[in-house]
Structure 1
Amino acid sequence: MKKISDYLLNDNIQRLLYGIGLVLWIIIWFSELKSMSENNSYAFYWWSVLTPIPLLIGQIIFNIKIIWTFLMIYVILYSLEIIWNIIMIDVIIDMERDFSPLPFWTFEKVYKWLIMIFILFTVNGIIWKIKPVRAK
């Protein structure tokens, strides 16, 4: 019986996963692109939306290690940025709010953070596992 990691070494399955990632990325960001294009203050964030699209298309077409390396670097940096933003925004909100007897750091908030971090690490792990290998 084959392991999942053995299936992930298959070139066609890798290309399929990159295609699924591309479709999901476009679906996730499609509604945000309109508001980002209308507001100039979001110009800095365009890199985070548009950078993975050519990388994923390149991996679908070529599936080579150099593009995978750039994609992996991007995914790691994007994950670190997301984790930093989640934590720092909540810390700033907690520090700047007026006194409230209700706790700000609730179980639900920490639970959502853990789910988001788990999803990010899972995506990073999958991309790490689908590293292209040379054909024998």
Structure 2
Amino acid sequence: MKKLSDYLLNDKIQRLLYGIGLALWIIIWFGELKSMTENNSYVFYWWSVLTPIPLLIGQIIFNSKIIWTFLMIYVILYSLGIIWNIIMIDVIIDMERDFSPIPFWTFEKVYKWLIMIFILFTVNGIIWKIKPVRAK
């Protein structure tokens, strides 16, 4: 019986996963498109949304280690940015606010943080596992 990591080494499976990732990325960000065009700081959002699209398309077509490296760097930087935003927005800013009887360490916030971090680590792990290998 093959392990999951053995299946992930298959070139066609890797291309399929990159295609699924591309479709999910477009679906997730399609709803935000209108608000990004209305926002004054939309250049950063356009950059962060449009950068992985050519990388994923390149991986679907070529499945090369160079493109995978750029994609992995992008995913790591994106994940670190998300974690930084969680820390800055939810923790530090809440600590600096004036007295409020509502605690900022609510179960819902911690639960959302844990889910987000779990998703980030899962995506990073999957992309790490589908690193292209040279044909023997």
- Structure 1, 49-58 or 107-116: larger mean CA deviation: 107-116
Task: Specify the SS of the correspondent of 2:31.
Answer: helix
For structure 2, the residue ranges without an aligned partner over 5 or more in a row are none
CA shift, 1:64, in A, is 0.3
TM-score (norm 2): 0.95
Q: How many pairs align?
A: 136
CA shift, 1:73, in A, is 0.1
Indicate yes or no: 2:122 matched with 1:122.
yes
Give the whole-Å Cα distance in 2 for the aligned partners of 1:71 and 1:51. Answer: 9
Task: Specify the SS of the correspondent of 2:103.
Answer: coil
- Structure 1, 75-84 or 30-39: larger mean CA deviation: 30-39
CA offsets, 1:68-114, max 9 Å, x none?
A: 00000000000000000011101243134331122111122112101
CA shift, 1:135, in A, is 1.0
Kindly report structure 1 stretches of 4+ aligned residues shifted beyond 4 Å.
none
CA shift, 1:38, in A, is 2.9
CA shift, 1:60, in A, is 0.2
Give the whole-Å Cα distance in 1 for the aligned partners of 2:86 and 2:52. Answer: 21
Identity of aligned residues (%): 93
Task: Specify the SS of the correspondent of 1:40.
Answer: coil
CA offsets, 1:23-59, max 9 Å, x none?
A: 0000000011122123332212211100000000000
Question: Match of 2:16?
Answer: 16
- Structure 1, 15-24 or 93-102: larger mean CA deviation: 93-102
Question: Match of 1:28?
Answer: 28
Task: Specify the SS of the correspondent of 1:134.
Answer: coil
- Structure 1, 80-89 or 36-45: larger mean CA deviation: 36-45
Distance 1:92 1:130, change over 3 A: same
- Structure 1, 116-125 or 100-109: larger mean CA deviation: 100-109
Indicate yes or no: 2:71 matched with 1:71.
yes
TM-score (norm 1): 0.95
Task: Specify the SS of the correspondent of 2:99.
Answer: coil
